[in-house]
Amino acid sequence: MKIKLIGVIAGFYIVNALIAFCAEPALKDVFKDTFLIGAALNPWQFSGNTNAEGQIILKHFNTITPENSLKWGNLHPYPGQYVFSQADRFVEFGVKHKMVIIGHTLIWYAQTPRWVFQDNDGKPLTREAVLERMREHIHTVVGRYKGKIRGWDVVNEALNENGTLRNSQWLKSIGEDYIVKAFQFAQESDPEAELYYNDYGLEYEPKRKGAVEIVKKLQSAGVKISGVGLQGHYDINRPSAKQIDETIETFSKLGVKVMITELDVNVLPTSGPGGADVTMRFRADPKLNPYTNGLPKDVEERLARRYAELFGVFLKHKQTVTRVTFWGVSDRSSWLNNFPIRGRTNYPLLFDRNCQPKPAFYAVVDIVHQIPE
Ligand code: GLA
């Protein structure tokens, strides 16, 4: 009797969950006339589709980016040695499900092994030698996925907050033209691919000016740049809608597209300057982790309003914004549970820890109907 009752109750919940799942509109349908909508995936998510996150991916998204699988350190850990198995699986997943596949990222200061810049004795390589390694890497990787990967984040995070070039190992080894060279090599490898410069914090004017310079340099060198990726690692109240609006406008005037490439909204108190500098780390402190038992209703509503505001700006610029990609699928696996402080409970995405749509999801769906054509 007891077992029968449990069966009935379980059945009730399963049926209800199914009804809710079918009733909620697919984001990719909601935005089909505006922009692509997607998520960054980890290998767990693109290797099997049986889990709840797998269902969200297939139902809601028409574009995917790998969280790490195409970064230099993962793909090319030792000189002359490539490990393609994970990246191949990612690309196969996208091809199988007819998704637009984004390559992230070719040239970045982080997650790039030290050997890239050194000879066998650990001494710094010459500019020419590093350029040759860069060329070989880009030709190999872009060439392998030619015709399958639609667009590449060619250079990621080359700028300091004040708009000058970050003193990365790429800059030190090659000099300022490393950015133009990277785009040239990518263009040679797949002339059809879209090529992007990707960064966070471009909503703040000094850094935005630096990105404008990069775009102009590429354009005047006659090298292809298709778009600028605004990572979109945002806080609940900064940057302002106005700053985001002006940023999209600025790049649009330069004749390039804009994509929101790593969207999430942090709801936890921040230590430090905010933003997405991956080198930032702070000590754990319970005061900075206030919502371990769930998000209070008022914060949940603020998050929904923030998401509506953000999508309002993206929709306003639908001629320029071609894609919105979330950095993750659901709150349970977001990197913001561990950045910049380990082990916190954050709520940055549209799907909660149980993979259910949050009020922010419905706010995003609703805003489409509120923006005039
Ligand atoms: C940056 C990078 C991403 C990722 C995030 C943190 O934004 O562009 O590849 O590493 O940091 O997960």
Cβ atoms of 266 and 233 within 8 Å: the answer is: yes
CA–CA separation, 58 and 21 (whole Å): 12
Nearest CA to ligand 1 atom 7: 276
pLDDT values of the chain reduced to their tens digit, one per residue, 373 residues:
555 655 555 555 555 554 455 579 999 999 999 999 999 999 999 997 568 999 999 999 999 999 999 999 999 999 999 999 999 999 999 999 999 999 999 999 999 999 999 999 999 999 999 999 999 999 999 999 999 999 999 999 999 999 999 999 999 999 999 999 999 999 999 999 999 999 999 999 999 999 999 999 999 999 999 999 999 999 999 999 999 999 999 999 999 999 999 999 999 998 777 777 888 888 888 889 999 999 999 999 999 999 999 999 999 999 999 999 999 999 999 999 999 999 999 999 999 999 999 999 999 999 988 876 6
pLDDT on residue 6: 56
Distance 77 CA to ligand 1 centre (A): 18
Distance CA 319, CA 322 (A): 7
Question: Which amino acid is it at 65?
Answer: T
Neighbour-count burial of 310, counting CB atoms closer than 10 A to its CB (0-12 exposed, 13-18 middle, 19+ buried) = buried
21 close to 55: Cβ distance less than 8 angstroms? yes
How far away, in angstroms, is 231 Cα from ligand 1 center? 8
List the residue whose alpha carbon is closest to atom 4 of ligand 1.
67
Please tell me the class of the 28-271+321-330 domain.
alpha beta
Give me 297's structure tokens. Answer: 């209703």
DSSP 143-205: HHTTTTEEEEEEEE--B-TTSSBP--HHHHHH-TTHHHHHHHHHHHH-TTSEEEEEES-TTSH
- The per-type count for the chain, helices as H runs and strands as E runs, is 13, 9
Reduced to 3 states (helix: H, G, I; strand: E, B; else coil), residue 353 is coil
Question: What is the Cα–Cα distance from 148 to 184, expressed in whole angstroms?
Answer: 19
For the CA of 233, the closest atom of ligand 1 is: 7
CA of 235 to the centre of ligand 1 (A): 16
The CA distance from 136 to 210, in Å, is 28
Choosing from 228, 262, 264, 326 the residue with most ligand 1 atoms within 8 A of its CB, the one to mutate for a pocket test is 262
157 CA from centroid of ligand 1 (Å): 9
d(CA 198, CA 210): 12
Q: Where are the domains of the chain?
A: 28-271+321-330
**Rg of the chain taking only CA atoms, in angstroms:** 21
pTM for the full predicted model:
0.93
Residue of minimum CA distance from atom 12 in ligand 1: 335
Question: CA nearest 198: which of 66, 111, 104, 110?
Answer: 104
Helices marked H in 40-159? 43-47, 52-60, 72-75, 85-96, 127-144
pLDDT at 372: 66
**Is the peptide bond prior to 105 cis by the omega test (within 30 degrees of 0)?**
yes
CB of 335 shorter than 6 A to ligand 1: yes
Is residue 6 packed enough to be buried (19+ CB in 10 Å), middle (13-18) or exposed (0-12)? exposed
CA triple 182-184-190, angle to 5 deg: 105
* CB 325 near ligand 1, within 6 Å: no
Q: How far is the CA of 278 from the centre of ligand 1 (A)?
A: 7
Pocket test for ligand 1, best of 266, 327, 337 (most atoms within 8 A of CB): 327
Whether 60 contacts 42, CB under 8 Å: no
pLDDT at res. 232: 98
- Give the number of other CB atoms < 10 A from CB of residue 173: 20
- Other beta carbons within 10 Å of 56: 23
* DSSP per-residue letters across 276-341: --TT------GGG-TTTT---HHHHHHHHHHHHHHHHHHHHTTTTEEEEEESSSSGGG-GGGSSSS
Q: Supply the residues annotated as catalytic.
A: 157, 262
The tokens for 188 are: 């040679």
Compute, in angstroms, the gap from residue 207 CA to the centroid of ligand 1.
18
| Ligand 1 pocket check for 231: Cβ under 6 Å | yes
| Residues 209 and 149: beta-carbon distance below 8 Å | no
Rounded Cα distance between 224 and 71, Å, is 21
State phi, psi for 156 to the nearest 5 degrees: -115, 130
Residue 102 Cβ inside 6 Å of ligand 1? The answer reads: no
pLDDT at 275: 75
What CA–CA distance (Å, rounded) separates 373 from 370? Answer: 9
CB of residue 45 inside a 6 A radius of ligand 1: no
